[in-house]
Structure 1
Amino acid sequence: MTPPLKATLGKVPAVTLGFWVIKIAATTLGETAGDAVTMSMNLGYLTGSLIFAAIFMVAVSAQIAAKRFHPFLFWGVIVATTTFGTTLADFFDRSLGIGYVGGTSVLLALLLGCLGLWYRTLGTVSVSRLTSRPAEIFYWATVMFSQTLGTAAGDWMADADGGLGLGYGGGALVFAAALAVVAAAYYWTSISRTVLFWAAFILTRPLGATVGDFLDKPVAHGGLALSRYTASAVLAIFILGAILILPQRAEEVPPLAADEA
């Protein structure tokens, strides 16, 4: 009798409530830290993007080279994508003059194109099937586009100048409500779990972007005018504590079915 095949462990964390708590905090940190470099340090969006692009490349190379799941390394790459995404989206929207609608549209097209190419190439976009280097590259490219899109979409929703003008609090409520709909779909419908995962993953970024802007933008613009350095430090400490306290286990990679082997 052939023994049953066993699942192996992947290099990304299992998707639990703790995963989403840290993800939202990481996206918020990306907004405050990115703004700290480009605005508080007056380095500008292009320089900030180049700095965070270099950090992202180093971090993601280490993640792909790793043989197993390392919580601090994985979340370090996520934070790198959020900071790079913040400065890159701002560069597109403001420095290049594309605007929020243009930037959001271009980035959405790039994100959907990346997911489509991933699916066409490997037959799945499931995070439980990151079993090859191409799959990991597609995964991190998708994460990068989603983080950049989130900044543009959050700014478009919140800003009165060129956006919908809902304010940072209003924008956060809209994205939180959208996440609640995705959560309800997870529990009470049979919609693909992979589709719902990516929907939630994408929506957490603009939620974090609007919360981050709410923390550090001037009171006259609807923010709390907190120090970007202080907000970033508090968020970083929270993330480190959450990684240590909340369960961090690797995603299980189920064995291939006979027709997949």
Structure 2
Amino acid sequence: MKPHTASLVRHAVSKVPEVTLGFWAIKVAATTLGETGGDWVSMSLNLGYLVGSAIFLVLFIGLVCAQVQARAFHRFLYWATIVATTTLGTTLADFADRSLGVGYPGGAAIVMALLIVSLAIWYRSEGTVSVESIVTGKAEWFYWITILFSQTLGTALGDWVAGEDRGGLGIGYEYGAMLFGAGLVVVAALYFWTRVSRTALFWSAFVLTRPLGATLGDFLDKPAAQGGLQISRLYASAILLAVIVVCVVLIPQRSARRDPAV
């Protein structure tokens, strides 16, 4: 880790929250909203993936700018920005998988490469990719771009595993949820009982929670004949938004203050 970055971490407060169980609960709800909200704009409103992505990109850039300019951690601003990454990630992944014609494996491979490049450039520039080191505007932009790629990758992986067309594995949403849930259990076990890098485990969990949320979103809005609750995407999104607001209000949160683990 670079000396100037280490000094900033010691004397500045991060504008992202500590990673706790409550953090992951809100994250799953946000990723589920990203699925239903993204699909509502691009599919239910018939705007298409490209137009939907453009709309959410403007929202994403505006919220990140507000986050960077903020002087302290603001929970509603932070989670609004997370929701923007999940909705944009949904439409971007669908655009890559379907509109570009690369299929689910191709879309996942493209986004995986972008995520790796983002992390590599961030690490080379800052000397760490730990979430506790987000104390400068430059680091924040790296953080949010990497978050966006991780959300997009999670969507692409979920579609690849569950889908039957476009090169999908055809496992289905229920078994896909079990698979990604098992992956999260492994990550949790590694966190509690090994010394594997906490930073690596964070980014692994961040990616894995996205397809889990996507599966839950599909369960909410898919037809009853397919085992879903058949709630409209708009109503499902409104319910999830209300759940997120309640969780953000009730779950204690504070900014990350610990020394980063590279």
Provide TM-score, normalisation by structure 2.
0.92
Find the counterpart in structure 1 of residue 4 from structure 2.
none
Aligned-residue offset at 1:221: 5.3
CA distance in 1, matches of 2:60, 2:10: 34
CA deviation string 1:101-148 (max 9, x = no partner) = 000000001001111111111110011111222211110010010111
Query: Which residue of structure 1 lines up, in the alignment, with residue 174 of structure 2?
Result: 169
Sequence identity percentage: 60
State whether structure 2 residue 152 is matched by structure 1 residue 148. yes
Aligned to 1:194: 199
Alignment of 1:207-218 (within 5 A): 207-218=212-223
1:92 partnered with 2:96: yes
Code of the residue aligned with 1:80 in structure 2: it is A
Equivalence for 1:259? none
Structure 1 distance, partners of 2:161, 2:216, is 12
Partner of 2:6: none
**Alpha-carbon distance change, 206 to 107 in structure 1, aligned in 2, over 3 angstroms:** same
2:228 is equivalent to residue 227 of structure 1: no
Q: Which amino acid is 2:257 matched to? A: E
Q: What is aligned with 2:42?
A: 38
Match runs of 1:1-261 below 5 Å: 8-162=12-166, 163-219=168-224, 223-254=228-259
Check conservation: 2:13, 2:135, Cα contact below 8 A: no
- Cα distance, 1:220 vs. partner? 5.4
Consecutive aligned runs of 4 or more in structure 1 exceeding 6 Å deviation: none
Structure 2 residue matching 1:225: 3-state secondary structure: coil
* Maintained 8 Å contact 1:168/1:222: no
Matched residue pairs, number?
Answer: 251
* Contact 2:15 2:73 (8 Å CA) reproduced: yes
Gaps of 5+ in 2: 1-8
* CA shift in 2, pair 1:247/1:36, >3 Å: same
TM-score (norm 1): 0.92
Instruction: Provide the secondary structure at the position in 1 that maps to 2:257.
Output: strand
